Amino acid sequence: MAESTTKASGPQANQISVFKCARESKKGEDAAAICMPKDKPVGPCAFAIFDGHSGKEAGKKCSEMVCQRLLEKGPPFEAQAIADVLWAVDEEIGKTGVVDGATAQILLVDPGEESYKCTMAWCGDSSAVVTDTSADAGTVLYATESHTAGPDHQGAGKFADEKVRLEFYGAVRKAVEEGEGIDTLKQETTAEMVRKAIAKVGKPIEEADVALLVKAFRRGKIVAEVHPEGCEHRKRVYVRQRDKDHDVNQVWVVATATERADPGYSDLQMTRSMLDWRAADMVLPEPQIHTFEVPADGLYRVCIASDGLWDVCSFSESAKLMKQEKTVQRAAKKLLRIAEKEYIENRGHEMMDDDTTVIVVELNPSGKILETAGGGCCSIA
């Protein structure tokens, strides 16, 4: 059965409305967070899905910590402050010995007196789609890009860029260790060491790269201290396809060794992740950020979902459905139904192929009525 939660922002027109529904597979690794003010009509909000991999604990803990801490930091929701929260949560949970990981797909909303300022932050392969309901049905205003080692659930993604980025990190680490004669898992890696290594690799030196890599080496050192077994494997970066014996789809993965026969082998389909400290330690909790604004007279809807939905539903299909349905409840339930029908009815499986969690958020500064084919208002009082 689908599990649902409904919240609204105030007694008048529902300027920010949200509905969540979910259906688990055998894994049960999805976790979600909905943080809205209870003591005033409208205020800063946070919505997120954390899709766990290799276990449930990381996603559950992230859902209890990340959004709450982001709301304590802002608004305004600055990119560096968001990244700092994700890195801090990653370290705090990781030091407790949790070994599984999770994606993070987050929507932060800062309602002004007129327009709403919105920020997307994500790492991993959960995705979000934004649609302006005044546009044609199926119009995607924005969709987040999955951080995968190969084509994502929509057959696209920036996997080529992600592969280059990971290989660059690996080359810098090698240059640091060879040039300085140190083990980055045991000794501190300074900004000056990183600058020299980047110059040796032959890439223009960007201070943002330097700062990120200093953080990455520090994190790798902590990971090695918490999980010393296999740490030498985790500091290597291999982007490769799984062999057919283990995956008929031959998905691309970030691996800790070139072959599965190697005792240090583990792999992860994502190139960015919260936790998963058994994976290659350059798979970082560094979020990608996108901002957009809902104008004073606008009515936008956002679908945030784990990849259980996006494996079987296109971004444009979700945008079309969000425009057509009168309420966020109906939209979320219809989107979940797409996944249920595919996995259970079409494929004949007893359970979902993957955990599927759907959150639909309506951002409506003026409280205007959504014009649908059937007419009616989007209010969910």
Tens digit of each residue's pLDDT (9 = 90 or more) over 314-362: 999 999 999 999 999 999 999 999 999 999 999 999 999 999 999 999 9
Cis-peptide into 75, omega within 30 deg? yes
Task: State the pLDDT at residue 9.
Answer: 41
Task: Please give the order of strands across the beta sheet that includes 238-241.
Answer: 238-241, 252-255, 267-268
User: Strand runs (DSSP E) across the chain, as ranges?
Assistant: 3-8, 16-23, 30-35, 45-53, 101-102, 104-111, 116-123, 127-132, 142-143, 238-241, 252-255, 267-268, 274-275, 288-294, 300-305, 356-363
Task: State the pLDDT at residue 335.
Answer: 98
Q: Please answer whether residues 362 and 326 qualify as being in contact, where contact means their C-beta atoms are separated by less than 8 angstroms.
A: no
SS3 assignment, position 357:
strand
Domain range summary for the chain, segments of one domain joined by +? 3-146+288-363, 159-269
DSSP state of 346: I
Could you read off the pLDDT of 309-323 as tens digits, one per residue?
A: 999 999 999 999 999
Could you read off the pLDDT of 27-60 as tens digits, one per residue?
A: 999 999 999 988 777 899 999 999 999 999 999 9
Task: State the pLDDT at residue 14.
Answer: 57
Task: State the pLDDT at residue 372.
Answer: 76
Distance CA 250, CA 312 (A): 19
- C-alpha separations of 342 from 117, 318, 323, 345, 350 in Å: 36, 15, 22, 6, 12
Q: Find, among 309, 331, 301, the residue nearest to 140 by Cα.
A: 301
Query: Please, what CATH class does the domain formed by 3-146+288-363 belong to?
Result: alpha beta
Task: State the pLDDT at residue 334.
Answer: 98
Q: Which ranges of the chain have pLDDT less than 50?
A: 1-13, 374-381
